[in-house]
């Protein structure tokens, strides 16, 4: 991708690879500063179309200039994830952000059991977002409430799982491909799936592969974008 001042201001949609341990805002902040420095801008609108957790990697759509007006439209696009669920243990955050809190039996889990239960999480389903999330409850981020050790009654949300497919069996880990709607929490899906098969599970790995027509194979690293801007 070739960057110039006019195109950045007029509006770009940049598929970016978000690395591990970066927040989505970290990516936006870094690129906004790079754009301002490269083109000597006092300000430039930069945003992203769909948050990825720090422990997740993969595709993040970064919008500049006038393209920030269509962020909501981009957020509504179907998303595809590659995920690893680890069975037999759970964490309060449903992923590896927090320590294990419970252990469960796994002797009864087989590949067939996993495949047979995928159908219960395909189509229109209801799920509760994790309490360790950036959603707000009465004006406060839920992860702030969770870190204080407080409990809240989280409402169910309607989401759609278009495809839920097992890719690999590395028992007690299983890899999945998941196509889903906006608002789906893969961490919650892992937790709910563990309960369904009378065990427990947490999300060990998550990579977002696509958002609508945009795919990870077409994405740019943060370093490559910064380097391209330095060469302008």
**Higher-confidence position of 142 and 37:** 37
Question: What sign results for the dihedral spanned by CA atoms 192, 196, 201, 205?
Answer: negative
Residue with tokens 């909501």: 72
Say which of 4, 10, 34, 53 is annotated catalytic.
Answer: 53
pLDDT digits (tens, 9 = 90+) for 196-208: 999 999 999 999 9
Give 42-63 pLDDT, tens digit per residue.
999 999 999 999 999 999 999 9
Examine the pLDDT at 232 and tell me if it is beyond 70: no
Tell me: do 102 and 14 sit in the same domain. Answer: no
Residues 168 and 194 reside in one and the same domain: yes
- Total domains in the chain come to 2
Q: What is the pLDDT of residue 137?
A: 76
Statement to judge: residues 121 and 28 lie in one domain: no
The parent domain of residue 20 ranges over 5-76+213-230
pLDDT of 177 above 80: yes
* Cβ neighbours for 162, distance < 8 A, ≥ 6 positions apart: 78, 122, 179, 180, 181
Q: Identify whether 53 is a catalytic site residue.
A: yes
> Do 36 and 106 belong together in one domain?
no
Q: Is the same domain home to 31 and 113?
A: no
> Do 201 and 193 contact (CB within 8 A), yes or no?
yes
């Amino acid at each position: 991708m070739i960057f110039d001042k006019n195109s950045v201001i007029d509006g770009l949609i940049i598929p970016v690879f978000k690395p591990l341990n970066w927040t989505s805002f970290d990516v936006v902040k870094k690129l906004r500063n790079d754009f301002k420095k490269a083109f000597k801008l006092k300000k430039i609108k930069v945003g992203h179309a769909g948050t990825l957790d720090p422990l997740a990697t993969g595709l993040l759509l970064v919008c500049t200039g006038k393209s920030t007006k269509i962020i909501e439209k981009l957020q509504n696009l179907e998303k595809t994830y590659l995920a690893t669920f680890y069975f037999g243990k759970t964490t309060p955050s449903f992923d590896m952000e927090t320590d294990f809190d419970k252990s469960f039996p796994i002797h009864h889990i087989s590949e067939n059991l996993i495949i047979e239960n995928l159908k219960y999480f395909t189509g229109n389903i209801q799920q509760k977002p994790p309490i360790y999330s950036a959603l707000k409850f009465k004006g406060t981020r839920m992860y702030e409430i969770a870190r204080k050790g407080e409990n809240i009654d989280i409402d169910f949300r309607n989401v759609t799982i278009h495809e839920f497919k097992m890719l690999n069996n590395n028992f007690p880990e299983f890899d999945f491909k998941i196509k889903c709607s906006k608002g789906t929490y893969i961490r919650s899906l892992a937790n709910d799936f563990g309960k369904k098969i009378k065990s427990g599970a947490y999300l060990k790995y998550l990579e977002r592969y696509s958002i609508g027509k945009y795919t990870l194979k077409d994405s740019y690293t943060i370093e490559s974008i910064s380097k391209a801007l330095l060469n302008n």
